[in-house]
Chains A and B, each alone.
Chain A
Amino acid sequence: DIQMTQSPSTLSASVGDRVTITCRASQTINSWLAWYQHKPGKAPNLLIYKASTLGSGVPSRFSGSGSGTEFTLTINNLQPDDFATYFCHHYDSYPYTFGQGTKLEIK
């Protein structure tokens, strides 16, 4: 199985900050990576797919980059609504796997 290592596990930041979350794959997944935002009691929301393509309706302050084994999610100008859990998900080959998640907290 391809292992996804996501860091950090927790991130404290303030409104207006820029933050970066990283996912590393144990072997190449080309660009078959998605990022999601998840809030308690809600369905995970697709932010980025194919490593860098913005999902429908997702604000442009979210961006993704990377290919191969190293990927990043960047959130510019953090807004109060952005404090949530974020996770990465590879869909290169079966079995799909996920990062362990990053909880973004208000500092």
Chain B
Amino acid sequence: QVQLQESGPGLLKPSETLSLTCTVSGGSISPYYWNWVRQPPGKRLEWIGSMYYSGNTYYNPSLESRVAMSVDTSKNQFSLTLASVSASDTAVYYCTRRSGHPDYWGLGTLVTVSS
């Protein structure tokens, strides 16, 4: 059974950089698309971006100037960085897999931005 686990700091100060890692177990990073999705408190889910295992990336235009994704196939991990965070970036962040259709999700990790 494929499992995804997000990890990273849960508390950031405004202007800092958010860095999260998703570790994939029970399956390989290839040949899938890997996504980051977030859900701010009380709001709907928001797609952040997708990365193919080979490195091609697609970002939400609303976040594109601050987002970067990367993959480490040797560790079966992929990562998200979001620069210059503010309170509006407070959310539960999920990593997900797409194999033709989006299938597996992680449990999510809460990231709070507060001074």
Residues of A within 8 A of B (CB): 32, 34, 36, 41-46, 49-50, 55, 87, 89, 91, 94-101
Contact = CB atoms under 8 A, between A and B. Distances in A.
A101 B46 CA distance: 12
A40 B105 CA distance: 14
A49 B47 CA distance: 17
Contacts, number: 53
Contacts of B101: 32, 34, 46, 49-50, 91
B60 interface: yes
Interface residues of B, number: 22
Given A98-B47, A99-B44, A91 B98 contact: yes
B106 interface: yes
B63 to A, nearest CB: 9
Contact of A44 (B44, B50, B105): B105
Nearest to B98: A91
Nearest to A41: B107
27 contacts: A34-B101, A41-B107, A42-B107, A43-B104, A43-B106, A43-B107, A43-B108, A44-B94, A46-B102, A46-B103, A46-B104, A87-B44, A89-B102, A91-B98, A91-B101, A94-B47, A94-B60, A95-B47, A95-B60, A95-B61, A96-B47, A96-B50, A96-B102, A98-B44, A98-B45, A98-B46, A98-B47
Given A94-B50, A95-B60, A34 B108 contact: no
Interface of B: 4, 35, 37, 44-47, 50, 58, 60-62, 94, 98, 101-108
Nearest to A4: B44
A101 to B, nearest CB: 7
Contacts of A46: 101-104
The DSSP consensus for interface residues of chain A is: loop
